[in-house]
Amino acid sequence: ITNLLSAIPYIGTDLVEWIWGGFSVDKTTLTRFFAFHFILPFIILALAAVHLLFLHETGSNNPSGIPSNSDKIPFHPYYTIKDALGALLLILALATLVLFSPDLLGDPDNYTPANPLSTPPHIKPEWYFLFAYAILRSIPNKLGG
């Protein structure tokens, strides 16, 4: 993905080397991307807070230009209590499901004792890995490619 930046004329290769921290992907690159991956949600949260602050100060813009001073109710406490009650009911329902019936959504094959000396014949990957499993099964042996 980062190599796509090399398509930028004149500065592409320098930009890729700057992002990588060298001539190839190594420990420096992984450290940089991990730090970016960790910091990015906080940056997004700060930008959302600044956006809400500006929106609270100036108000929302009406694209039609007609003032809409109709009957309004304040967001807090009405919608805040409504949303908090909905979240509380959802958490209560999930906690009830997990605490009183933890095996309800479990796979029954997870409860058979494991035998490390024999592999059951019915084993197949989950549905989201089936495409890769089909590709793997189409090659007759491991040395075929």
Beta-carbon count within 10 A of 13 CB: 14
Exposure b/e, 53-85, CB count within 10 A at least 16 = b: eeeeeeeeeeeeeeeeeeeeeeeeeeeeeeeee
pLDDT digits (tens, 9 = 90+) for 44-70: 999 999 999 988 887 777 777 676 666
Q: How much is the average pLDDT of 2-24?
A: 87
| 83 in catalytic set | yes
In this predicted model, what pLDDT tens digit does every residue of 82-116 receive, in sequence order? 999 999 999 999 999 999 998 888 888 788 888 88
The catalytically annotated residue of 24, 27, 37, 60 is 60
pLDDT at 142: 60
Q: With 60 as the cut, is the pLDDT of residue 145 above it? A: no
Q: Name the pTM for this structure.
A: 0.45
Measured CA to CA in angstroms, residue 143 lies from 95, 124, 129, 137, 139 at distances of 50, 22, 22, 13, 9
- The residue ranking higher by pLDDT, 60 or 132, is 132
CA angle in degrees (0–180, nearest 5) for 87-92-96? 150
CB 8 within 8 A of CB 21: no
pLDDT at 143 over 80: no
Q: What span, in angstroms and rounded, lies between the C-alpha atoms of 22 and 20? A: 5
Rg of the chain, C-alpha, whole Å: 27
Average of pLDDT values for 31-53? 96
**Is 82 noted as a catalytic residue in this protein?**
yes
Name the catalytic one among 57, 103, 107, 126.
Answer: 126
The answer to whether 71 is a known catalytic residue is no
The reply to whether 57 belongs to the active site is no
Domain ranges of the chain: 1-62
C-alpha dist (Å) from residue 80 to 49, 60, 70, 84, 87: 17, 19, 21, 6, 11
